[in-house]
Amino acid sequence: MPLPTDLGSPNIPSDPELLRDFVTESSDRLCAIEHLIADALSGSSSITPETVNEIFRGIHSIKGVAGILGLSTVTDLAHRIENVLDQIRHQDPESAPDVMVLVWRAIEELHRIIGNVVKTESSSLHGLLQQLDAICATVEEVDAPHHPNPRDSHAAAAAAIMGERSTRISVADLDWLSSVIRDLPQARDELLTELRAVAPAKSIAAAARINLLVGDLQHAVEQMRLVPLQRAFQALPRVVDDLCRRFGKKCRVTFSGESLEVDKTIIEALSDPLVHLLRNALDHGIESPVDRVRQDKNMEGSVIVAAEIRQNELQIRVSDDGKGIDPAQVLQTAIHRQFITSEKAGQLSREEAIQLIFWPGFSTANKVTEVSGRGVGMDVVCSNIQLLGGSVGIESQPGKGTIVLITLPLDARS
């Protein structure tokens, strides 16, 4: 892959809220990845295939959103990191510690670039990109003597572009506050019991006042946790527009239920899966205008993202009117890439065959591009949703389209 000719200022998007969210969420994600690598290289844990897959998912998600925002330098470096991780994933991860050190350095650099999203130092980055490309060209170990400390905080750099008028409350802090407030009624009852014993006349007014305050506080915290689904949907039109331009396709995306308010944990868990589902629909599902006309379809494809609440569950249905999924092609790919044996493939039902697309590393794409071919997108969808006790279902008819149904409990907590 040729090196980018312009590693200077990336295309800073016009939506500051999307950019702030990207910087903060990417910083959190990269900190977690750095800890994973540090633990593996220090010997406190091992470099397992699942460790590599987890790192892969995080980098792939960052690359996807960076592409939407037009941050070409971030996208390019993330893509190079994916190339190396893909090499490690198809070998024995334990046999390449020096390569993981280079990945570590690249992730630190990615962290720095995102924290200082306005400018990148091209000279140092060129050298790092060349080392990453060398790994993929030779599949050999690269000498990387420099061991950076991945535990250094990048919060200050990320905060530089966050602005002084914005405050982000982490889900963990909200969880802690909610747990404290749940204990308040018991403490209130104990206090009032003591008060009635020494001053029964005053206890009635005090009880009323404390009940009111506790109730107001509980309500306030619950409201702080609620966020409109629009926050999870807001980047999706840009995903569709960007991919339509790349692929020469026409597609419209429509939404329903975006005004529904759900817990902030759910919003954060949904953002990446929804992006990956739309990327998958545009890349693998929606046909070109010429092919659609040949099939007597409208030359403009359609993707619908519909949300509703049913029996204390949030259901999000992502449907497209594209070419659908061919179970036979899925099985053929799975056998060819040694995910399953021919004997096992013959035992799978049509529905079970389609479920194979959620396996880490599985892809029916013929080549790897910046958009697809890694087998990461649908893995991210499944992993994120299952972490919150949710489920992902899929229905598809060749020639007619695909429906992916995400179901999450409204009281989901990570």
Q: Are 256 and 296 in contact (CB under 8 A)?
A: no
What the block records as the tokens of 408 is 């999450």
Element (H, E) at 212: helix 200-225
Distance (Å, rounded) from C-alpha 31 to C-alpha 25? 10
Predicted pLDDT of residue 290 = 93
Distance (Å, rounded) from C-alpha 85 to C-alpha 41? 15
Distance (Å, rounded) from C-alpha 97 to C-alpha 104? 10
What the block records as the tokens of 174 is 């909200």
User: Rounded to two decimals, what is the model's pTM?
Assistant: 0.57
Is the Cα torsion angle 120, 126, 128, 129 positive or negative in sign?
Answer: positive
Please name the residues in contact with 405: beta carbons below 8 A apart, sequence gap of 6 or more.
Answer: 315, 316, 317, 392, 393, 394, 395
User: Based on the number of CB atoms within 10 Å of its own CB, is 304 exposed (0-12), middle (13-18) or buried (19 or more)?
Assistant: middle
Supply the angle between the helices 122-138 and 72-89 in degrees, to the nearest 10: 30
In the chain, the largest separation of any two C-alpha atoms, in whole Å, equals: 86
CATH of 229-409, one of 3.40.50.2000, 3.40.50.1170, 3.90.380.10, 3.30.565.10: 3.30.565.10
Q: Are 307 and 256 in contact (CB under 8 A)?
A: yes
For the 16-159 domain, the top CATH level (class) is mainly alpha
- The residues spanned by each domain of the chain are 16-159, 171-226, 229-409
What the block records as the tokens of 94 is 């334990």
Question: What residues are paired with 255 via a beta bridge?
Answer: 305
Predicted pLDDT of residue 206 = 73
One-letter identity of residue 80:
R
Q: Are 403 and 302 in contact (CB under 8 A)?
A: no
pLDDT tens, per residue, the chain with 414 residues: 443 333 333 344 446 677 777 888 888 888 888 877 777 766 656 677 788 888 888 888 888 888 777 788 888 888 888 888 887 776 765 656 667 778 888 888 888 888 776 444 444 566 666 666 665 655 444 333 343 443 333 333 333 333 334 455 666 777 787 777 777 888 878 877 887 787 777 777 777 777 788 778 877 777 777 888 988 888 788 888 888 888 899 999 999 998 899 988 888 888 888 988 998 899 889 999 999 999 999 999 999 999 999 988 999 999 999 999 888 888 988 888 888 888 888 889 888 888 888 887 777 765 555 555 455 568 778 888 888 899 999 999 999 999 999 999 988 665
